[in-house]
Amino acid sequence: MDYPELIRDYLDDAGGHLDMLDASLLSLERSGYNADIIRNMLGSLHTLKGNSGMMGFESLQRYVHTVEESLKEALDKGTASDDLIDRLFGAVNVTRKALQEIEKNPTAPPDLTGKGSAAGGLAPDGQSGQGRQENELSWRLRGKTETIKVDFTRLDDLLNLAGELVILRTRLNRIGERTRAEIATKSLRNEFKESLELMGKTIAGLQEGIMRVRMLPEGHVFRKFPRMARDLSKALRKEVRLVCEGEETEVDKTVIDAL
């Protein structure tokens, strides 16, 4: 098996689960207890736990299991306190940093014992204030996506266009054989011209389809901002209301990574 490729897939999938947990916790903090949200969070945690164990990251698997048990307890009690939400935000931070350590060195067990594993903050010993905020913002925004989840209908369209290219190529080959065997008449020239035009349109459609596959909504960048705004709001004791518009606008993946 291609272990580096498996690591990339694992990290990309895990990052998606953590983004989902961040969004769910923000919703719980704004709107209060919601059993459906907590069940969805448990589903993501369970998947992350299973994938971590399958990849051999047993310490991270145990850590996620502990987080999962805390959330199950909240579901059983029918309440989610502010303290629990803060601790869960902290757990997401710890897990995200653990994934970054795995990305750098998959063979070394990630550190899950640092300060902040049971609280909201994640600053190393002796670090506080602006330095801590800048550190947390930098690691939260860092990194590129290694994979793109593509809508199946888009891939199906590409496959159909590729099939059209094969048919046109066969037609051109047949025309080429005829031109070698007989004088290129006007009708033959017209047929050749028509085939080339059709191939040009098909290739253009194929290029457009490929470009669409490379496109991602700008929301992939901005989805990290609500959690950042929440943490800064609490750290600075200021009320913050973040409004994002136009998140559905699609741009090329390379632009998303640069942003």
Q: What would the pLDDT profile of 88-116 be if each residue is shown by its tens digit?
A: 999 999 999 999 999 999 988 888 866 44
Looking at CATH, the fold of the domain delimited by 3-147 is given as Four Helix Bundle (Hemerythrin (Met), subunit A) (1.20.120)
**Confidence (pTM):** 0.63
Checking if the pLDDT of 126 tops 50, the result is: no
Which comes out higher in pLDDT, residue 21 or 170?
Answer: 21
* Cα-only R_g, the chain: 26
What residue spans define the domains of the chain? 3-147, 152-213
Checking if the pLDDT of 185 tops 90, the result is: no
Q: Distance of CA 222 to CAs 60, 120, 124, 134, Å?
A: 27, 21, 27, 18
The neighbour count for residue 238, using CB atoms within 10 Å, is 8
Q: What angle do CA 5, 145, 25 make, to 5 degrees?
A: 115
End-to-end CA distance of the chain: 33
Under a CB-based contact definition with an 8 Å cutoff, are residues 219 and 249 in contact?
no
- How far apart (Å, rounded) are the C-alpha atoms in residues 257 and 259? 5
- Output DSSP code: residue 107: T
pLDDT digits (tens, 9 = 90+) for 34-53: 999 999 999 999 999 999 99
Give the pLDDT confidence score for residue 87 in this predicted structure.
92
Look-up of token digits 């609280």: 119
Which tokens hold the place of 206?
A: 């194929």
Give the pLDDT confidence score for residue 39 in this predicted structure.
95
Q: pLDDT category, 120, cuts 50, 70, 90? A: very low
